[in-house]
Amino acid sequence: MIRNAEIIAVGSELLLGQICNSNAQFLSKQLAELGVNVYYHTVVGDNSTRLRDAINTAKQRSNLLIFTGGLGPTKDDLTKETIAEVLGKRLVMDEEAMSNIKAYFEKSQRKMSENNKKQALVLEGSSVLTNDYGMAPGMALSDETHTYMLLPGPPKELQPMFRHYGREFLLEKLGVKEQIVSKVLRFFGIGESQLETDIEDLIDNQTNPTIAPLAGDNEVTLRLTAKHHSIEEANRLIQQSETEILERVGEFFFGYDEDTIYSVVFNKIQQSSFTLSSAESLTGGLFSERMTSFTGASEVIEGAIVSYTNDVKEKVLGVQKQTLEQDGAVSAKSAEEMAQGVKKLLKTDIGISFTGVAGPGTMDNQPVGTVYIGIALPDGNTVVHKLQLAGTREGIKHRSAKYGCHLLLKELFK
Amino acid sequence: MIRNAEIIAVGSELLLGQICNSNAQFLSKQLAELGVNVYYHTVVGDNSTRLRDAINTAKQRSNLLIFTGGLGPTKDDLTKETIAEVLGKRLVMDEEAMSNIKAYFEKSQRKMSENNKKQALVLEGSSVLTNDYGMAPGMALSDETHTYMLLPGPPKELQPMFRHYGREFLLEKLGVKEQIVSKVLRFFGIGESQLETDIEDLIDNQTNPTIAPLAGDNEVTLRLTAKHHSIEEANRLIQQSETEILERVGEFFFGYDEDTIYSVVFNKIQQSSFTLSSAESLTGGLFSERMTSFTGASEVIEGAIVSYTNDVKEKVLGVQKQTLEQDGAVSAKSAEEMAQGVKKLLKTDIGISFTGVAGPGTMDNQPVGTVYIGIALPDGNTVVHKLQLAGTREGIKHRSAKYGCHLLLKELFK
């Protein structure tokens, strides 16, 4: 029976302050959702004596030990070797992991070095946790008193491994009877404090589901978490709460869970069989890059023109010389003609344009953060929105691209 | 004498995953610069029994213990109370801290509550570390065997307190005469294990500077850290080691410290007064977006054509119909004509093109990860490189864009 957990990160880069222990944060959140109390985090370097001591200390005070890092191919990587030694277990070759590693090298046409074979060794008797995004497999095993889980260090390998395999292993160990259902609602265009104020009474008074707000990158999310022995009932509780929330702040809502505002817009445009192109000055290709990140992008995206100079705006996109001279490149008129120009040039149903001042310098006497977004719609109309944004150069670019998505949703799908 | 350190963060919010332990990262970096080895990080909740156990464990293995958090006014805050108990010391009122707290309340015109007085209590015999950005004072004290430092949890209070007062205290304790200099070397196009193999003898045998490899996002870094009482000599030791390393793996080296491969390429092109444009199919605008992220981008970047369809490749970039039909869009010939086309259309000195299969589906019978990068050079020549990459769709896009930078460096500046 799992009583309490300790997360042990192995890696000298943590003790040198090169990276932050975000794995401990991720796992702590995940364990909290499973109802497991985390009593300690420990970080120890790539040193087998100190790691052994840390394991022995942890065993005395916790009975679920989750290790992160130290599963790589180099001789600094000694997590599983040290655990094997402490538990008196052998390391054995896992055939599936080995063929996964071989496939990785074949695919990238690189030569496998001898030390990569080490990565396929797992603790005897452990359940192997597949690594879908890297070479080192994870593993989990239990004896009479303790449960051990070993996960790779890179977050992009660790997170999917835990979500897809590690969590399952623990749920079974925990014999969880109560179903926990959670759902994230995502909002754009409203601040965290405004959203919290608008639904304060729901946040304060509701306990099932609980409602937890979190400010993210240019967006705000609400995580609803319901518990019930019937999964249908847990889902019904979530649905009811969601309806109440969206009645108040639905205009800013764009999606659920792993949705991004880009993925939502992409999917809606794909479903409508529209095609899309972009004319980007301020954003430098960011909108196009995000939109082409999805499988099936070639059905939706014809292309984009990044028009960083007036010459390209005029010669390629067909913005009038007069507009550039009289209104300037950062103006409603330029945004309009850019959107229409790219729509016509690339023969798409929708053209979207971004022009503005990302800073640090001003342009055309416009202050930093002035942004115009033009949308040439399938019906032949063109709309232009003006924004005034704050933040860094990078921040203004990203916020503008996301605003473009927000406006596409508003103009086309609401 | 301080031998090695342990950083103990106190706070249940860390164990719930609400925040990342960035204080440990900050302090680890600071201590590394002072030449103090950090052997462990520990996180423990707001629980006096478990904190007491953590202190006793830490005392056995480290002789500098730095505590963060738990100095606030609420009853959850019990760091100094627990340390007082373990060390057998009393807590005494510090007048300066008290008047600081009173001033704080007067300034904000709020009423001071009784529990705020608790914040002015410090460990008997300790040096008080002034809090210039909050109410809770820090403190530091040494006995025959150990040194203890207590710092507040909020980073905006902790960081200036350590920089201005805590560091001084430690420097005096350390009797530091030695200067520490460190430098990061960055490499692209070589794997971590290959790099380690190539310079294994240097990593193993050199102690001043030490050489620490770290794998990052599509790149590998080496951190060199030298110690010497003369800063010139420390720099000379680093320089000597750098030369030895670059003699072996210099072809993959691109920059130092905070450099990125994009910033290095951007700066070199800017210094050469060249202009650049890109024709992007596979990368969807990513290369252009990254290149326009730097201040002064408009001097270097004219624009980009994202040609996601053959129609755009042909009509806008002028790739020959015959090339697209016979060789396919993912081919050396297409890459060549795309690079030449964009260079001509946007009238730049250099044109770079990206075409390939990001997956998940194959294209033109080419496997996922097949990438062609074309570079139309200022002298009129065009070179094309073929790559075979592994990974996710996003991974292949990012790696391709960085490879483009790597090739620009190779073709233009080596």
Residue A80 has pLDDT above 90, yes or no: yes
Q: What is the mean pLDDT of chain B?
A: 92
Q: What's the CA dihedral at B154, B156, B159, B164 to 10 degrees? A: -120
Look at residues A256, A289, A319 and tell me which one is the last residue of a structural domain.
A256
- Residues of the domain holding B188: 179-256
Which residues in chain A touch residue B311, judged by CB atoms under 8 angstroms apart? 302, 347
Report d(CA B298, CA B47) in Å as an integer: 56
- pLDDT grade for B176, boundaries at 50, 70 and 90: low
Single-letter amino acid code for the residue at A22: S
The rounded radius of gyration (Å) of the Cα atoms in chain A is 26
Same domain, A138 and A242: no
Which of B159, B225, B309, B355 to substitute to test the interface with A, most A CBs within 10 Å?
B309
Same domain, A53 and A158: yes
Q: What's the CA dihedral at A392, A393, A397, A399 to 10 degrees? A: 10
Same domain, B128 and B70: yes
- The CATH code of the domain that includes A404 is 3.90.950.20
Q: Does residue A43 contact residue A7 with C-beta atoms inside 8 Å?
A: no
Q: Do A28 and B15 touch (CB under 8 A)?
A: yes
Note the pLDDT tens digit of each residue in B76-95. Answer: 789 999 999 999 999 999 99
- pLDDT grade for B199, boundaries at 50, 70 and 90: very high
Residues in chain A: 414
pLDDT at B115: 76
Angle formed at CA A345 by CA A342 and CA A346, multiple of 5 degrees: 80
3-state helix, strand, coil in chain A (%, to 5): 45, 25, 30
Same domain, B9 and B153: yes
- pLDDT grade for A228, boundaries at 50, 70 and 90: confident
pLDDT at B113: 75
Angle formed at CA A45 by CA B168 and CA B32, multiple of 5 degrees: 20
pLDDT at A216: 67
The whole-number average pLDDT for the span B142-167 is 94
Strands (E), B202-263: 210-215, 220-228, 253-256
Report d(CA B388, CA B60) in Å as an integer: 52
- pLDDT grade for A113, boundaries at 50, 70 and 90: confident
Single-letter amino acid code for the residue at A88: G
- The CATH code of the domain that includes B40 is 3.40.980.10
Which residues in chain A touch residue B45, judged by CB atoms under 8 angstroms apart? 39
Same domain, A164 and A202: no
Residues of chain A numbered 164-193 and touching chain B (CB < 8 Å): none
Same domain, B335 and B383: yes
Q: Tell me how close the Cα of B126 comes to any Cα of chain A, in angstroms.
A: 27
Same domain, B144 and B25: yes
* Closest partner CB to A312 (pick from B20, B61, B302): B302
pLDDT at B382: 97
pLDDT at B279: 98
Look at residues B223, B239, B256 and tell me which one is the last residue of a structural domain.
B256
Report d(CA A195, CA A167) in Å as an integer: 31
Which residues in chain A touch residue B28, judged by CB atoms under 8 angstroms apart? 14-17
Lowest-confidence pick of A268-277, A336-345, B226-235: B226-235
Extract the tokens encoding A4: 């309490």
DSSP class of residue A17?
A: T
Instruction: Note whether A381 contacts B: Cβ–Cβ < 8 A.
Output: no
- pLDDT grade for A180, boundaries at 50, 70 and 90: confident
More confident residue, B365 or B322: B322
Same domain, A248 and A269: no
Note the pLDDT tens digit of each residue in A43-60. Answer: 999 999 999 999 999 999
Residues in chain B: 414
How many domains, chain A? 3
Same domain, B26 and B132: yes
Look at residues B107, B139, B174 and tell me which one is the last residue of a structural domain.
B174
Instruction: Note whether B20 contacts A: Cβ–Cβ < 8 A.
Output: yes
The whole-number average pLDDT for the span B23-32 is 94
Which of A4, A7, A10, A15 to substitute to test the interface with B, most B CBs within 10 Å?
A15
Note the pLDDT tens digit of each residue in A291-325. Answer: 999 989 989 999 999 999 999 999 999 999 999 99
Extract the tokens encoding B133: 């950005």
Same domain, B104 and B49: yes
Q: For B26, what's the count of Cα atoms within 13 Å in the CB-facing half-sphere?
A: 22
pLDDT at B244: 96
The whole-number average pLDDT for the span A72-100 is 91
Report d(CA A208, CA B290) in Å as an integer: 45
DSSP reduced 3-state for A48: helix
Note the pLDDT tens digit of each residue in A269-286. Answer: 999 999 999 999 999 999
Other C-beta atoms lying within 10 Å of the C-beta of residue A394 = 12
More confident residue, B103 or B381: B381
Instruction: Note whether B49 contacts A: Cβ–Cβ < 8 A.
Output: no
Residues of chain B numbered 115-154 and touching chain A (CB < 8 Å): none
Lowest-confidence pick of A148-162, B33-47, B206-220, B393-407: B206-220
Residue B145 has pLDDT above 80, yes or no: yes
Going from the C-alpha of A158 to that of each of A127, A155, B5, B213, the distances in angstroms are 16, 5, 28, 21
Extract the tokens encoding B283: 């990368």
Same domain, B12 and B118: yes
* Closest partner CB to B196 (pick from A40, A57, A74): A74
Same domain, B266 and B241: no
- pLDDT grade for A181, boundaries at 50, 70 and 90: confident
Single-letter amino acid code for the residue at B23: N
- The CATH code of the domain that includes B226 is 3.30.70.2860
How far is residue A279 CA from its own chain's centroid?
Answer: 26
Report d(CA A250, CA A231) in Å as an integer: 26
pLDDT at A116: 81
Instruction: Note whether B288 contacts A: Cβ–Cβ < 8 A.
Output: yes
pLDDT at A220: 86
pLDDT over 70, % of chain A: 99
Note the pLDDT tens digit of each residue in B383-398. Answer: 999 999 988 889 999 9
Q: What is the mean pLDDT of chain A?
A: 92
